[in-house]
Structure 1
Amino acid sequence: MSNQPTASKEEDEIAPPQRPPSPLHTPPSLREAPTFSAFRPRDIRIQSPQSMNHVAWSCDGKRLGAVGIDKAVRLWNPEKSMELRAATMFSGGYQDEVDYIAWNPTHPDLFCASGQKDRKIVFFDTRQSRSVQSLQLRAFPVQLNYSPDGKTVLYTTSGKQLYGMTCSKQGEETKEQWHLWDKDPIPASTVTFNHAGDGLILTHQSEATIRILDYPSLSIVHATPAHVGGCVAAALDPRGRYLASGGHDSIVNLFDLSEWICTRTITACDNAINALSFSHDGEFLAIANAGSYIDICATETGIPLHRVPALGSSPTVAWHPSKYVIAYCGQTKIREGGPPPSAWISLFGPGM
């Protein structure tokens, strides 16, 4: 008879299997990638001498907002219709065109929009017909970015300066209002919050370096060279693995955030980069540029997967927050003897 102690019941039991990995972290080799070549763009043309400037999805993906014409914000529900007459219009008292729209990441009904020429940012609630609050600025706002908690909005200006505002109660106010910062501006062309909300990613059109700042102290934590001739766009992988940057040099760099090194360079584009956007699972990167197309590349390899034809150059591109659908917009080119230019907004991907 063996003198070895008998294993306890607990030791004999087989440990329950771990929960399978979520789709967000399933390796690409174990997933079926969408067949992008099977999709066709859905183009919506709008007769207007102005361009459609920017598009953005609400945090739940049920609404798509677009700005640039008619001195107002248009909202669609793409699952129902993308016809022009199906759009809901929101006017913030703009006297000129609206340039940018940003959705609150914590509430699907809240968003804000900015107009450079009017020098103001207006906040909206889709459940109300009128705007919630309008802030007049001294500078000309270009880009907007919400903090992850929806309590701060940072904006960059045509003068390449970064400013901010916070939502809070001050003095005898009975409800929270947006208040402009009294801090000194910081040089930047674009700004992006990290996912934790304690860091900022800044690019500058005239500088080759990307700067990482601590928030709210705004002290510089890290700076890394990125693009010859200036860095004009940046996007953060939803998984927090990569930072993508694009520049006038038509190159897109992918930085590994754990070591802050450039792990791969994407040279698929033939034109200067305008905007970048990661898919909801981080596996694909959409690239808008000065050419009449959108490139879609694989994040882990940098391999170009598909080139989406566009009606013109798009200043922006945005992946749906949970589907393989991108939205982009712009204005058709002026051709001698041809029809007048028109604004357009497009969707690419499987049917909504």
Structure 2
Amino acid sequence: MSFGVAAAPAVQLIGSCTSGTNASIAPTDHCVAQAGNDGISSVIWSPTANHLVSTNWDGGVRCWEVQESGGRSELCRKLRVSYLTFPINHENGSPVLDCAFSPDGSTVFSVGADKAVRMWNLAQSPPNNIPQQIGAHDQPIKSVAFLPSTNMIVSGGWDNMLKFWDARQQNPVGTLQLPDKCYDLDVRDSLMVVACAGRHIITYNVQGQPQEHQRKESPLKFQSRCVAAFPDATGYAVGSIEGRVGIQYVAKVAGKESFAFKCHRQDANVYAVNCICFHNQFGTFATVGADGIVNFWDKDNKQRLKGFPAIHRTITCASFSAQGNMFAYSSSYDWSKGSTHYAPGTPNELWVHSVVEDEIKPKGKKTTSYR
């Protein structure tokens, strides 16, 4: 097998959006204007409103308001997307690598190559258009999340550290040593899962003071790329550069066992799984990859629910809205082939897909399964 990146045919642009039949996963998807001047590193929805936030390698943190309108049929829904506030930037335009919302949806926390944990209240414009710094690492920070049970922010860095922050003070309220660089982390209720270099996966109980629950080697053979906790906090899914996903349980669930499956592969070519995100209502999930493909899956019945046509470029990240009726995904270069394969001027686009329930709702057991 060989590791690859999806071929990028010549495209045309209309404004900031690509035209053509393979620009988006569905012809009715809405392209978000002014999605940034460099690769999109993360995208998340507010837990309380249809507010969409993205982070970019150009140093920007951007927020939009998404409104639905139209017919009664799911297929007739229309989207209107507008800036909620003007974009803000990390200091010196340093790449921003991840962001997280507070539970009330009022505040965004962002981290990146400037080694800073920053806080932005969406109702206010920060001084000099740079969000307030509330913490720091010794190396770039890859991931950030909010811990609802303790009202703390957790950040994972390339300095092999987890740090816990109270937004009211700049010194960490706690630190934990990681076995290697943090590549991704996620939090659901009392479960936090961290994927590190060296294929290390660590789970923590964060109900009170964070306590390590389990440390193990990834069930996948190659480098971890992304991780996402199940909505019911019984386990997590981990994706790797080899085009596979591992489903792992940390708590006993009757009739459920851990397993792994192939997803983002085309014949002998293997593409990185760049992001995994779960649907809150149904517990199903999406994977997006360097092959430019979005897949919807049902882990409980081991089925692929929906496979969308490949788009022109790699897909770097994705997220379901809190209600699950919208799905945001980004298309830009994902650096899976390094800087030598980056083409200056490659469009960076953010799309919103209206989710039809039949695409994401479990269908029950069938004779067919994951490919």
Shorter-chain TM-score bucket reads 0.7 to 0.9
Task: Give SS of 1:206's match.
Answer: helix
Which of 168, 190, 195 aligns to 2:189? It is: 195
Is the contact between residue 193 and residue 203 of structure 2 (CA under 8 Å) also seen in structure 1?
A: yes
Deviations 1:247-296 (A, max 9, x none): 22321122234328744433222122221111011432101222211111
Q: Structure 2: which 5+ residue stretches go unaligned? A: 1-24, 69-78, 266-270, 357-371
Q: Which has the higher contact order (CA 8 A, sep 6+)?
A: 2
Q: Are 2:132 and 1:128 aligned? A: no
1:109, distance to aligned residue in structure 2 (A): 1.2
- In 2: Cα distance, 1:243 partner to 1:69 partner: 27
Task: Give SS of 1:108's match.
Answer: coil
Provide closer, same or farther for how the CA distance between residues 325 and 155 of structure 1 changes in structure 2, counting only shifts above 3 A: same
Aligned to 1:142: 142
Q: Are 2:317 and 1:316 aligned? A: yes
Provide closer, same or farther for how the CA distance between residues 293 and 45 of structure 1 changes in structure 2, counting only shifts above 3 A: farther
Provide closer, same or farther for how the CA distance between residues 189 and 72 of structure 1 changes in structure 2, counting only shifts above 3 A: closer
Map residues 83-94 of structure 1 onto 2, 5 A cutoff: 86=83, 88-92=85-89, 94=91
- In 2: Cα distance, 1:152 partner to 1:320 partner: 23
Aligned to 1:23: none
- 259-268 vs 284-293, which moves further: 259-268
- Fraction of identical pairs, as percent: 12
- In 1: Cα distance, 2:201 partner to 2:175 partner: 21
1:299, distance to aligned residue in structure 2 (A): 2.6
Provide closer, same or farther for how the CA distance between residues 39 and 284 of structure 1 changes in structure 2, counting only shifts above 3 A: farther
- In 1: Cα distance, 2:220 partner to 2:301 partner: 20
- In 1: Cα distance, 2:58 partner to 2:318 partner: 21
Deviations 1:1-27 (A, max 9, x none): xxxxxxxxxxxxxxxxxxxxxxxxxxx
Map residues 3-152 of structure 1 onto 2, 5 A cutoff: 40-44=28-32, 46=34, 49-68=37-56, 71-79=59-67, 86=83, 88-92=85-89, 94-96=91-93, 97-104=95-102, 106-116=103-113, 118-130=114-126, 133-135=132-134, 137=136, 138-149=138-149, 151-152=151-152
Which of 206, 210, 214 aligns to 2:201? It is: 210
* Root-mean-square deviation over aligned CA pairs: 3.2
TM-score for the superposition, normalised by structure 2:
0.70
- In 1: Cα distance, 2:176 partner to 2:283 partner: 38
Q: Are 2:265 and 1:266 aligned? A: no
1:71, distance to aligned residue in structure 2 (A): 3.2
- Residue identity opposite 1:240 in structure 2: A
Task: Give SS of 1:203's match.
Answer: strand
Map residues 205-284 of structure 1 onto 2, 5 A cutoff: 205-207=197-199, 209-215=200-206, 218-225=210-217, 226-259=219-252, 262-270=257-265, 271-284=271-284
Is the contact between residue 188 and residue 232 of structure 2 (CA under 8 Å) also seen in structure 1?
A: no
Aligned to 1:346: 351
Deviations 1:13-63 (A, max 9, x none): xxxxxxxxxxxxxxxxxxxxxxxx987433346486511221110111320
TM-score for the superposition, normalised by structure 1:
0.73
Higher percent of residues as strand: 2
Q: Structure 1: which 5+ residue stretches go unaligned? A: 1-36, 168-175
Aligned to 2:164: 164
